[in-house]
Structure 1
Amino acid sequence: MTARFSPALKAILFDLSGVLYIGTQAIPGAVDAIRRAREQGYTLRFVTNTASQSSEMILQQLHTLGFDFSPSELFTAPKAAKAYIQQHQLRPYCLIHPNLKTEFTDIDQTDPNCVLLGDAQDGLNYHTLNQAFNLVEAGFPLIGIGKNKYYKDAEGFKLDAGVFIHGLEWASGVEAIITGKPDRAFFEQVVASTGFQSEECLMIGDDVIGDVQGAIDAGLQASLVRTGKYKPSDEALLPENAHILHSIADLQF
């Protein structure tokens, strides 16, 4: 299945997991799709809420799988979270994946005055979540690295950090500050890096809410792929002005 996009299109934003690869395997045709987009002169960005790998790990994995791009093209939710914390001079209680901890070692974490919650996996337990809850109850902000409900890897579907962020919001009555998709400010940051207008940018993802609806709300074009976490029921939620691709391999202009 192919989709034809606006001739005004100048930049393409790609989600990673579920769009370019699943687990440790590239989706068939994905490497060629990226190469074709470059050859046709499109500005490319790679945007992810992945909170279980550092930026360096993501870059290494993508290069291993055969994708060619530079670090400046990668935008991650953990980087956005760190920037927010530094900007507001906060001291986070970090519930994050061990792979991310080195990216936050230069931030003071003593006597926390905010909660940073991401894909901490087994670190998300009753004890740690209760500590987070008490900090939020004391009036300190809750910062979420993305707010996805679930994701899919080589082992199948898994709960994502959004489930636990939502639980803390519900219990405390506060609204989390979300860095990453579908936050409008995150999309605006990525678009600004391209030098183009929002309507000249296309977001391609496997999450109908975080990728597609979030991009549409921020003024971008958007397309859902039928790979990764995609489920047939997602199509009922697809905005009228969004596109759909069977796979990134079907991307044509």
Structure 2
Amino acid sequence: MPVLIDVSGTLLVGDVPTAGAVEALQRLREAGVPFRIITNTSKESRQAIVDRLRKHNFDVRDEEVFTALSATRRLILSRNLRCAFLLRDSVMQDFEDVEQSNPNAVVVGLAPEKFDYAHMNAAFHILFQGGTLIAINKSRYYKTEHGNDLAAGSVVAALEYASGKEATIVGKPSPDFFKLALDDLGSSAADTFMIGDDINDDVAGAQRVGCRGVLVQTGKYTAHVLEQSGVQPDVIAPTFADFVDRFLGGEFAQ
């Protein structure tokens, strides 16, 4: 059975691999299990994510990483939009073929250096004149080695409030994002596990399209958030490596 695997909080917490994750991913490959590593991150280009995983000895091929930035680019080009970007300069290589003059859309991701009044007010003007608001994701916070940090969702919410626009959410938990990832993997939702640390974006989002949701107790996981969510994971595992052990041991065979 194929698997979709989250990065932040599942394979890595900050810049540190979770316990046994490197070896567990290798075991999936050796067992012939198809997988895609999928991520909502908007602070790194796809190539940067691949390079970072390889730096920590994860055996990852370029085509095995599917990002919300990739999905966003597809959406922009399909709608022929001209975009102003509240994104880090380091990820703009993923949007080199997107028109930016006279923008009629605003794209928001995690870019703290762009979250000042001048940038946000310029974005507001575009939206107030009828522009489209696109959010890479609407995450409230993300886990780092220092704790939970504010994510881009608050900025998206502020622009929605000020402009009266509702953002198009591209990344998790958007059903379209999971469908694109499944298409990229060549698998059906019913046959696929989604493994992540976010009960809403990873588990509930994947369950809505028919995948089985696996919640790992690393990264941003807390028992309180799980209880408050009302979401019932199909599987709860202490770590990604623990799930892989059980998965390859046949515990979830149909």
Give TM-score, length-normalised by structure 2. Answer: 0.92
Report the Cα distance in structure 2 between the residues aligned to 1:227 and 1:132, rounded to whole angstroms. Answer: 35
**Structure 1 residue corresponding to 2:66, chosen from 43, 66, 75:** 75
Pairwise CA distance, 1:239: 2.4
Alignment counterpart, residue 246 of structure 1, candidates 220, 224, 238: 238
Aligned to 1:197: 188
Higher deviation after alignment, 10-19 or 98-107: 98-107
Cα offsets for 1:141-164 (capped at 9, x unmatched) = 100111111101122211111111
Counterpart CA distance in 1 for 2:142 and 2:186 is 31
How many residues are aligned here?
244
CA contact 1:52–1:98 (8 Å) conserved in 2: no
Per-residue CA distance 1:218-241 (angstroms, 9 max, x = gap): 111011111111122122125235
Aligned match of 1:23? 14
Distance 2:18 2:230 in 1: 22
* One of 193, 197, 211 as aligned partner of 2:202: 211
Q: Aligned ranges for residues 9-48 of structure 1 at < 5 Å?
A: 10-48=1-39
- Which amino acid in 2 is paired with 1:248? F
8 Å contact 2:216–2:238 — kept in the other structure? yes
Extract unaligned runs of 5+ from structure 1: 1-9
Does residue 1:161 correspond to 2:161, yes or no?
Answer: no
1:213 and 1:238 in contact (8 A); partners too: no
Name 1:114's counterpart in structure 2: 105
- 8 Å CA contact 2:194, 2:214 repeated in 1: yes
The answer as to 2:77 corresponding to 1:86 is yes
Q: Which residue identity lines up with residue 178 of structure 1 in the other structure?
A: I
Match of 1:65 among 37, 56, 62: 56
What SS is found at the alignment partner of 2:226? helix
**Once superposed, which parts of structure 1, at least 4 consecutive aligned residues long, lie more than 6 Å away?**
none
Residue 229 of structure 1: aligned partner: 220
SS in 2 for 1:216: helix
Match of 2:178 in 1: 187
Which secondary structure state, in structure 2, belongs to the residue aligned with residue 191 of structure 1? helix
Aligned residue number for residue 54 of structure 1: 45
**Correspondence for 2:251:** none
Matched residues in 1 for 2:187 and 2:46: separation?
A: 24
What's 1:5 paired with? none
* Partner Cα distance (1:50, 1:204) in 2: 16
CA shift for structure 1 position 69: 1.8
Q: How many angstroms apart in 1 are the aligned matches of 2:184 and 2:35? A: 10
Tell me how large the CA RMSD over aligned residues is. 1.3
- Aligned-residue sequence identity (percent) comes to 37
Structure 1 contact 208–238 (Cα < 8 Å) conserved: no
Deviation string, structure 1 residues 80-112 (Cα, Å, up to 9, x no partner): 111111111111011001211222233221111
- Partner letter of residue 73 of structure 1? E
Equivalent-residue separation in structure 2 for 1:158 and 1:84 (angstroms): 28
2:212 maps to amino acid:
Q
1:142 matched to 2:133? The reply is yes
Distance 2:94 2:218 in 1: 30
TM-score (norm 1): 0.92
SS at match of 1:211: helix
Task: Name the amino acid aligned to 1:199.
Answer: A
Q: Distance in 1 between matches of 2:128 and 2:141?
A: 26
